[in-house]
Amino acid sequence: MDFSNSQPLLRVRGLKTQLNSKRGTGLAVKGVSFDLYPGETLGLVGESGSGKSLTCLSLLRLNPKPASSIVGGQVMFESEDLLNLPEAQMRAYRGKKIGMILQDPMRALNPVFTIGNQLFESLRLHRGLQGAELRETATHLLERVQIPNPEQGLSAYPHHFSGGMRQRAVGAIAMSGSPSILIADEPTTALDVTVQAAFLDLLKRIQREEGLSILFVTHDFAVVARMCDRVAVMYAGRIVETAPTAVLFDQPRHPYTESLLKSVPDVDHKDERLYAIPGQPPSVFSEAKGCAFAPRCPYAMARCREEVPPQRTVGPAHTVSCWREEAKHA
């Protein structure tokens, strides 16, 4: 599907989030820009620590404080810059117009309240529902995420639910404000493969029915292939490549994307050892100049260690930040 002819629903420009620690400060999100179009799923991939979660949290100003602070950029949604809104107005967006499924499943549900209580609270807050209507809507939401006996499900505690059911309950809470955007940060990492597949199918169905846009964070390229229309690849706090999913798999242009794809297990070559990208990503507090991938890059040139490469459009909806691309056009 080509979404690029429509207006983006969310427009993120130059987002910068800084970590504040005893060791000083360092940018963990170094000027991230992307668009999210109506009805699309945009994947956000990259190694652990590249800043995916911090980017997602920053969009709604839910980044951990005082451990981090947003120091620049814009998050444009419905003609508002969410980074500039008074805190009180943010409540109209968080969990309501923009739903979130967070990476940490322990934080998503409160073990001492029933699933019903947690769903009621969210529906009261986001939709102002009460009484019979509240109960009916909550039951309907659990039904939509395929919780068997939804009426009974309301009085269950999280520990009564299996992992897959808990994740679907979290999904129901995330959908309770009828959001137009869902931010899903590794929503299936804790689930076994079958339960994961069922949850992803459910998410896709809800997306189709509601015309939802999804920002989908994952490590897993099988999940990317299944879920995402486009993918943004993040390395050390920057998006280094963005492409339609099929193009990213067939013609990756950034050496980091190439390496990431090489490290995906290949079902046809089971006996081959899994490729691991040599070296380590830089620390957030490192002062190194140039492209952050240069020390691990098989193609690195002198210039790569000096300056951060600009972003270049290399095809429809395909952008890359790499000096090799610039050399081609010099």
Q: Can you give the binding site for ligand ATP, defined by CB under 6 A? A: 19, 28, 46, 48-54, 64, 67, 103, 284
Sign of the torsion formed by the C-alpha atoms of 21, 26, 31 and 36:
negative
Choose between 47 and 326: whose C-beta lies nearer to ligand ATP: 47
- In 3D space, the residue among 175, 176, 174, 180 whose CA is nearest the CA of residue 124 turns out to be 176
Rounded to a whole number of angstroms, the minimum distance from the CB of residue 51 to ligand ATP is 4
With beta carbons less than 8 A apart as the criterion, state whether 181 and 99 touch: yes
Antiparallel, parallel or unpaired: β 311-315 and 98-101:
unpaired
Measure Cα distances from 328 to 314, 323, 325 in Å: 11, 9, 5
Choose between 17 and 103: whose C-beta lies nearer to Mg ion: 103
Choose between 67 and 301: whose C-beta lies nearer to ligand ATP: 67
Choose between 120 and 216: whose C-beta lies nearer to Mg ion: 216
Judged by CB under 5 A, does residue 68 bind Mg ion?
A: no
Helix, strand, coil shares of the chain as percentages rounded to 5?
A: 35, 25, 40
Which one-letter DSSP state was computed for residue 159?
G
Task: Select from ligand ATP, Mg ion, none the partner in contact with residue 187, using the beta carbon and a kind-dependent cut-off of 5 to 8 Å.
Answer: none
Tokens for 305, please give them: 């260690």
Place of tokens 């968080």: 94
Q: How far apart are CA 242 and CA 248, in angstroms?
A: 8
Antiparallel, parallel or unpaired: β 98-101 and 181-185:
parallel
Rounded to a whole number of angstroms, the minimum distance from the CB of residue 183 to ligand ATP is 12
Rounded to a whole number of angstroms, the minimum distance from the CB of residue 284 to ligand ATP is 5
Tokens for 32, please give them: 């991230």
Q: How far apart are CA 264 and CA 257, in angstroms?
A: 11
Region of 51-59, 250-258, 273-281, 296-304 interacting with Mg ion (CB under 5 A): 51-59
Region of 44-52, 111-119, 193-201, 275-283 interacting with Mg ion (CB under 5 A): 44-52
Choose between 103 and 167: whose C-beta lies nearer to Mg ion: 103
Task: Select from ligand ATP, Mg ion, none the partner in contact with residue 28, using the beta carbon and a kind-dependent cut-off of 5 to 8 Å.
Answer: ligand ATP
Tokens for 312, please give them: 């270049």
Region of 99-107, 153-161, 195-203, 287-295 interacting with Mg ion (CB under 5 A): 99-107
Rounded to a whole number of angstroms, the minimum distance from the CB of residue 182 to ligand ATP is 17
Rounded to a whole number of angstroms, the minimum distance from the CB of residue 321 to ligand ATP is 18
Choose between 65 and 160: whose C-beta lies nearer to ligand ATP: 65
With beta carbons less than 8 A apart as the criterion, state whether 58 and 33 touch: no
Instruction: Give the containing element (helix H, strand E) for 118.
Output: helix 115-127
Task: Select from Mg ion, ligand ATP, none the partner in contact with residue 48, using the beta carbon and a kind-dependent cut-off of 5 to 8 Å.
Answer: ligand ATP
Rounded to a whole number of angstroms, the minimum distance from the CB of residue 160 to ligand ATP is 28
Region of 103-111, 130-138, 231-239, 297-305 interacting with Mg ion (CB under 5 A): 103-111
Task: Select from Mg ion, ligand ATP, none the partner in contact with residue 75, using the beta carbon and a kind-dependent cut-off of 5 to 8 Å.
Answer: none
Choose between 49 and 163: whose C-beta lies nearer to ligand ATP: 49
Q: How far apart are CA 60 and CA 75, in angstroms?
A: 9
Q: Is the peptide bond before 282 cis (omega within 30 degrees of 0)?
A: no
Q: Exactly one of 18, 50, 53, 259 binds Mg ion (CB under 5 A); which one?
A: 53
Sign of the torsion formed by the C-alpha atoms of 40, 42, 43 and 49:
negative
Question: Which residues contribute to the site for Mg ion (CB under 5 A)?
Answer: 52-53, 103
